[in-house]
A and B are shown apart, each in its own frame.
Chain A
Amino acid sequence: GQNIDQPTEMTATEGAIVQINCTYQTSGFNGLFWYQQHAGEAPTFLSYNVLDGLEEKGRFSSFLSRSKGYSYLLLKELQMKDSASYLCAVRGPGGSYIPTFGRGTSLIVHP
């Protein structure tokens, strides 16, 4: 099975940097995803990590350490529109490739 932990809620100030952590325990590992979900809307893909290290994409970066079962999503130059839920998902081994989602971190950006 898989267990994914991320903080329930975080707050940050516009223009600042915030790091959202995700830890996981899995019987196997085949990649980690981050999705953004605004209230009442569908999740949208942000990043995918399968190897250790940092992947940068504009204001968003995602880091993975497989040995530690740990990932983080780094958001720079925060904007009000970044207020959303951020979902960490881990894909396990085997033929199903089904990703297991964490419960999400609700990020509130205030002026």
Chain B
Amino acid sequence: EAQVTQNPRYLITVTGKKLTVTCSQNMNHEYMSWYRQDPGLGLRQIYYSMNVEVTDKGDVPEGYKVSRKEKRNFPLILESPSPNQTSLYFCASSLWLENNEQFFGPGTRLTVL
């Protein structure tokens, strides 16, 4: 089944404790991105990647890191999480940059205490 998977789905952590949210797609998509979704603010892009070893900042990159060592994986790293990073996170992928349809993962609900 073609899909985007994220882990964990739910995470409660404390300020300053490094964490990684994994994202993997099995559709051989080149383009991957991370969004956060907050009430009243909609979906905002954090980082995106156009291919292996090619990443760039989105609208709200502060406090986040990403890497793209393999085509299928695009982990999101929070080196020192803070409470304002409490949010719902989505990973998405599409076949190539100009492709119209993005496929979203199921989401990761993160709470930073």
Contacts and interface: CB of A to CB of B under 8 A. Distances in A.
User: In which size bucket is the chain B interface?
Assistant: 20 to 34
A33 B94 CA distance: 14
Nearest to B91: A42
A70 interface: no
Contact of A96 (B42, B56, B107): B56
Given A45-B101, A95-B97, 8 more contacts: A41-B106, A42-B90, A43-B104, A48-B100, A99-B102, A100-B59, A101-B43, A103-B42
B102 A104 contact: no
Given A42-B107, A43-B43, A98 B100 contact: no
A91 B40 CA distance: 20
Contact of B45 (A48, A87, A98, A104): A98
B101 A48 contact: yes
Interface of A: 31, 33, 40-45, 48, 87, 89, 95-104
Contacts of B90: 42-43
Interface in B25-63: 33, 35, 40-45, 48, 56, 58-59
Contact of A42 (B44, B97, B105): B105
Given A43-B90, A96-B48, A96-B56, A102 B104 contact: no
